[in-house]
Amino acid sequence: MSSSGVVSKKLKFKGEKSKKKKRSHHHSSGGGAGAGGDEDELAAMVAADPRGWMFPEDVMEISGPAFILLPTEPLTCLAWDPQRERVYAAPVDLPQVPEGMNDLSEAEILQTIEPSDVHHVWVISRLSGSEDVMSLRTSTGTFLTASPSGTLTATTPSRGPLEAFIPLASSSTSSSPSLFPTYAIKIQHNEKYISAAPPSGPSIAKVKAELRGDADTVGEYETIKIKCQREFVFKARLANSEAKGGDEGESKSKRRLLDGGPAEGSVEDELRRNREAQTWGAGRAVVSERDRKDLKKARKEGKLAEAMLDRRAALKSDRYAK
């Protein structure tokens, strides 16, 4: 046992050779290439706040609560006003810069902003049987609707053909390239696009942007950015990784961590497995006084995992432990 008193909780078998750990040289900002970079990125997402907001890197990762940023100056987001029953471009609360510090760059602002109102959040769900089609639900339970005339409303309590949209990856058409993925929302029934053009006419002083659903092509005003909660992006990314034939054991471990279960190989995981496989009589764990003393002694010596394995083999209730 090391002088620091830290005991490894990794469950090891007798005679098993220790594997050397491979150090990862991928930087978090670089989005490491290859399978190693993907695994490190998934592990970092598990450790981070699941309710935090991040930019999905793929169309299929757009799901769950979403914060849709419109291509306007100043920055606005797609919002729903339940009192007036209208879809509009709401101003975004920008982060405050501490006194004495330089102003935040555009990338830093986009990275830190989050929705400040529940009506700025749209819950995105995929339609069964056609995963590329999605619907956008408001905080009041109604769905975003694109009428054939091009107007956008959100008063329909159920979704139908007018409430079906297709997110498409889009390259930024502005003069400065975007550091974050940009998308376009295509309307399924008329193959038009949602746009946020500058207001014109008498409404120029009243609204930040004119939201329409009748754009024929993807241009500057049809390019949007979407932030989703990290938990849902992780689930979608994990599903894509499994579909591509990723490591099944590693995926199960990360899914267990995401669901709030104990890490594989930990003492908590060992106790859970014992309760499932080595209890009887209404789930009672039968442990003798001698076993208790042996386990306490093994814990002090740093051999708890080995002692637990020996006890499991002695009980002969787990045929895979031998």
Specify the range with the lowest mean pLDDT, choosing from 175-179, 251-255, 318-322: 318-322
| Domain map (residue ranges) of the chain | 34-239, 264-321
Specify the range with the lowest mean pLDDT, choosing from 95-109, 198-212, 242-256, 267-281: 242-256
| CB contact set of 256 (below 8 Å; sequence gap of 6+) | 262, 263, 264
| CB contact set of 237 (below 8 Å; sequence gap of 6+) | 42, 45, 58, 61
Residue 42 has pLDDT above 60, yes or no: no
CB 224 within 8 A of CB 71: yes
Residue 309: predicted pLDDT:
81
Instruction: Report residue 311 as tokens.
Output: 């006890």
CB 125 within 8 A of CB 143: no
Domain 34-239 has CATH 3.40.50.360: no
Residue 97 has pLDDT above 90, yes or no: no
Residue 210 has pLDDT above 50, yes or no: yes
Distance CA 51, CA 225 (A): 18
Kindly report, residue by residue over 149-193, the tens digit of the pLDDT: 999 999 999 989 999 999 999 876 555 556 789 999 999 999 999
> What confidence tier does 29 reach under pLDDT thresholds 50, 70, 90?
very low
Residue 249: predicted pLDDT:
55
Of 207 and 71, which is predicted with more confidence? Answer: 71
The pairs formed by 248-253 with CB atoms below 8 angstroms and a separation of 24 or more are 250/39
Q: Which of 41-45, 49-53, 174-178, 258-262 has the highest mean pLDDT?
A: 49-53
Residue 248: predicted pLDDT:
56
Overall pTM > 0.85? no
- How many CB atoms within 10 Å of residue 283? 8
> What confidence tier does 242 reach under pLDDT thresholds 50, 70, 90?
confident
Residue among 65, 64, 80 at smallest CA distance from 153: 80
> What confidence tier does 74 reach under pLDDT thresholds 50, 70, 90?
confident
pLDDT (average), residues 285-313: 80
Residue 33: predicted pLDDT:
45
Of 79 and 260, which is predicted with more confidence? Answer: 79
Distance CA 249, CA 255 (A): 10
